[in-house]
């Protein structure tokens, strides 16, 4: 199938890129072909799990007495991440044993914690990229021959510091990743999967309780104000519903959800994907809860016209309507429990940057107490 280099995202034409797995497979195939055929090549075709056949340029060819080394420069398209522009090398060396041996060199991490797709102690080369390498190299390796492929990424150690790898228990470099071989521009799927990886690792370590936070502010409040250990805190970004579903899938029993009022008030209304481009009904939801608490008509109108959550909080404070926060916290917990099919107990802590913690429901208090007892 012909590769489609562009995708339309939110009405914009954006360029697709290639995963580290595709780059590693291309470099491995090219190095093997040049070793076998004793000639230089400057581009190579490979198949991707997506079904597209792609052509990648080959650079920095090096020869020794019994090996050939080359690289592919990672191109993330219009969705560049920390690995965009790195050099992914493959060295091919003939060996006496028939078959293909894959080794990892400089800049490729080692898995140190369970819960990933690769066993502890093994190089962080995921199963799909590994199969891609075996397939592509196998196409050019003569029958009865054997080759050792050594992958390396010199920038990997430094680049890994900008990724999730240290939190995931991958040390010494980056991972060779990719399930489709193609980087989709602005791919939310890849972002969700990276967040869910942390949940899978906690589950593999035997944890039944987890703390979910949409972002950095929630994480800092959890650590500094609630004294929760950072190892059981997982970020959700805007994918709160998705992460709750993953909690069920991985066998968690209790979830403590800690978030800013402006984010969690959406969840109170059953909005589980909280990006403002998808759903921004904060003023309307706050107004509804304030009205339920007896807000007068002038306050209702001002709340509806408020531009920010902080402005709405000021209006509520002026009107003396503070019971709204506990009501919202309880509703968030109930909505999340329903979202999980009643398989999770979910406690909620709501805060703002100026006021700090505004409310926590009884379930949150119970989970916090349990977390402290487990320390």
pLDDT in tens, 215-233: 888 999 999 999 999 999 9
pLDDT at 271 over 80: yes
**CB-CB contact of 286 with 265 (8 Å):** yes
Q: What are the backbone angles phi and psi of residue 213, rounded to the nearest 5°?
A: -135, 135
- The pLDDT of residue 187 is above 80: no
| The predicted structure's pLDDT at residue 25 | 98
Does the pLDDT of residue 194 top 90, yes or no?
no
Which burial class, exposed, middle or buried, applies to 313 when counting CB atoms under 10 A from its CB (0-12, 13-18, 19+)?
Answer: buried
Who contacts 20 (Cβ-Cβ below 8 Å, separation ≥6)? 74, 83, 88, 129, 174, 175, 176, 177, 178
Confidence of residue 10 (pLDDT cuts 50, 70, 90): low
Q: What is the pLDDT of residue 278?
A: 75
Sorted by where each starts, the structural domains of the chain and their CATH numbers stand as: 6-183 (3.30.2110.10), 188-373 (no CATH)
202-226 as b/e, with b when 16 or more CB fall inside 10 Å?
Answer: bbeeebebbbbbbeebbbebbeeeb
Q: What is the average per-residue pLDDT within 140-146?
A: 96
Q: SS3 breakdown of the chain: % helix, strand, coil, rounded to 5?
A: 40, 25, 35
* 105 vs 353: which has the higher pLDDT: 105
pLDDT band at 353 (very low <50, low <70, confident <90, very high): confident
Stretch 260-275: mean pLDDT: 94
How far is Cα 375 from Cα 367, in angstroms, rounded to an integer? 13
């Amino acid at each position: 199938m012909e590769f489609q280099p562009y995708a339309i995202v939110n009405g914009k034409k954006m360029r697709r890129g290639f995963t580290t797995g595709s780059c590693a497979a291309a470099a491995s195939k090219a190095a093997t072909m040049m070793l076998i055929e004793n000639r230089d090549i400057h581009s190579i075709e490979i198949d991707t799990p997506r079904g597209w056949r792609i052509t990648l340029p080959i650079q920095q060819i090096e020869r020794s007495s019994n090996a050939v080394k080359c690289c592919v420069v990672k191109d993330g398209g219009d969705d560049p991440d920390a690995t965009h522009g790195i050099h992914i090398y493959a060295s091919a060396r003939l060996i006496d044993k028939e078959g293909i041996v894959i080794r990892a060199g400089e800049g490729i991490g080692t898995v140190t914690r369970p819960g990933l797709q690769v066993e502890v102690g093994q190089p962080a080369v995921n199963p799909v990229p590994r199969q891609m390498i075996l397939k592509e190299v196998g196409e050019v390796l003569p029958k009865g021959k054997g080759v050792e492929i050594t992958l390396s990424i010199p920038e990997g150690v430094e680049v890994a510091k900008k990724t999730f790898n240290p939190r995931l228990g991958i040390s010494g470099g980056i991972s060779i990743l990719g399930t489709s071989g193609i980087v989709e521009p602005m791919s939310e799927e890849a972002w969700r999967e990276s967040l869910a990886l942390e949940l899978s690792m906690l589950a593999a370590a035997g944890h039944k309780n987890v703390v979910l936070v949409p972002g950095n502010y929630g994480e800092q409040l959890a650590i500094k104000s609630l004294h929760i250990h950072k190892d059981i805190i997982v970020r959700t970004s805007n994918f709160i519903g998705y992460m709750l579903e993953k909690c069920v899938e991985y066998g968690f029993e209790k979830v403590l959800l800690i978030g800013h009022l402006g984010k969690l008030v959406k969840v109170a209304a059953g909005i589980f994907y909280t990006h403002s481009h998808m759903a921004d009904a904060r003023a309307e939801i706050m107004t509804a809860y304030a009205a339920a608490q007896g807000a007068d008509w002038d306050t209702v109108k001002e709340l509806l016209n408020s531009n920010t959550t902080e402005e709405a909080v000021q209006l509520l404070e002026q009107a003396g309507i503070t019971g709204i926060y506990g009501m919202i916290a309880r509703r968030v917990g109930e909505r999340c429990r329903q979202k999980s099919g009643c398989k999770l107990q979910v406690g909620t802590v709501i805060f703002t940057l100026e006021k700090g913690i505004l409310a926590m429901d009884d379930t949150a208090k119970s989970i916090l107490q349990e977390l402290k007892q487990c320390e």
